[in-house]
């Protein structure tokens, strides 16, 4: 029994150590570059004003996930959610992308920009995030490049305190997929499934 508990603790430790937070300075540097590359997004399904100074990101190997909250995101706005979408933020990915029904989002359903870093080109997908109430349920709505959402997931109540308006954490499911949890204003949480992108 003790060996089993020790093995479980060791596995948990290894899983936790595989994911690390990106420093605030690095997040701001990357955020400025990406928001410049993507520009104003005149065809955006929801108008998000990204706050590059208050983003959050984590990395695990080659995978990076970064979120920039909307500058006007407040707990009061989320508490009064109705059928109309409220801007939540922008979600960027490297090496993974959102998935639905066991399939990763194809490139033609995502907003993608190519960024060069130290001589290597990286394809970076962007998703726009909004929140609304539908059928008496709060949901986080995820837009790619199409007019209709790529997916929507439950936005559930949660308790806790945090620094950034939106904080990210990730969990590996298998060699091809994982989950990304967004903790929003310390009061709500939503979890997205992500999968590795095809090269």
Write out the residue range of the structural domain in which residue 23 sits.
19-196
The answer to whether residue 142 sits within a structural domain is: yes
Share of the chain above pLDDT 70, in %: 89
Q: What's the number of domains the chain is made of?
A: 1
When pLDDT is cut at 50, 70 and 90, the band that residue 4 belongs to is very low
The pTM score is: 0.86
Rounded to the nearest integer, the mean pLDDT of the chain is 86
The answer to whether residue 9 sits within a structural domain is: no
- Is residue 6 over pLDDT 70? no
The answer to whether residue 23 sits within a structural domain is: yes
The answer to whether residue 5 sits within a structural domain is: no
Residue 166 CB neighbour total at 10 angstroms: 25
The answer to whether residue 37 sits within a structural domain is: yes
Question: Cβ(64)–Cβ(94) under 8 Å?
Answer: yes
What is the reported pLDDT for 15?
39
What is the reported pLDDT for 41?
81
CB-based burial, 26-64: b 16+ in 10 Å, e otherwise: ebbebbeebbeebeebeeebbebebbbebbbbbbbeebb
By residue count, the chain amounts to: 199
Least confident stretch, 10-24, 71-85, 171-185: 10-24
- Is residue 17 over pLDDT 50? no
The answer to whether residue 170 sits within a structural domain is: yes
Candidates 39, 41, 91; CA nearest to 64 is: 91
Question: Cβ(87)–Cβ(74) under 8 Å?
Answer: no
- Is residue 9 over pLDDT 50? no
């Amino acid at each position: 029994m003790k060996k089993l508990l020790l093995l479980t603790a060791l596995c948990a430790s290894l899983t936790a150590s595989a994911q690390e937070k990106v420093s605030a300075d690095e997040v701001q540097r990357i955020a400025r570059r990406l928001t410049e590359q993507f520009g104003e997004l005149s065809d955006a399904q929801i108008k998000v004003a990204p706050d590059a100074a208050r983003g959050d990101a984590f990395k695990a190997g080659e995978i990076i996930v970064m979120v920039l909250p909307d500058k006007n995101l407040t707990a009061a706005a989320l508490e009064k959610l109705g059928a109309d979408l409220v801007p939540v933020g922008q979600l960027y990915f490297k090496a993974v992308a959102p998935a639905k029904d066991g399939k990763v989002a194809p490139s033609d359903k995502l907003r993608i920009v190519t960024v060069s870093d130290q001589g290597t080109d990286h394809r970076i997908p962007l998703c726009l995030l909004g929140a609304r109430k539908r059928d008496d349920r709060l949901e986080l709505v995820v837009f790619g490049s199409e007019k209709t959402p790529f997916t929507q997931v439950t936005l559930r109540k949660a308790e806790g305190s945090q620094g950034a308006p939106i904080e990210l954490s990730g969990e590996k499911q298998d060699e091809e997929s994982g989950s990304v949890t967004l903790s929003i204003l310390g009061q709500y949480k939503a979890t997205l499934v992500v999968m590795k992108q095809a090269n």
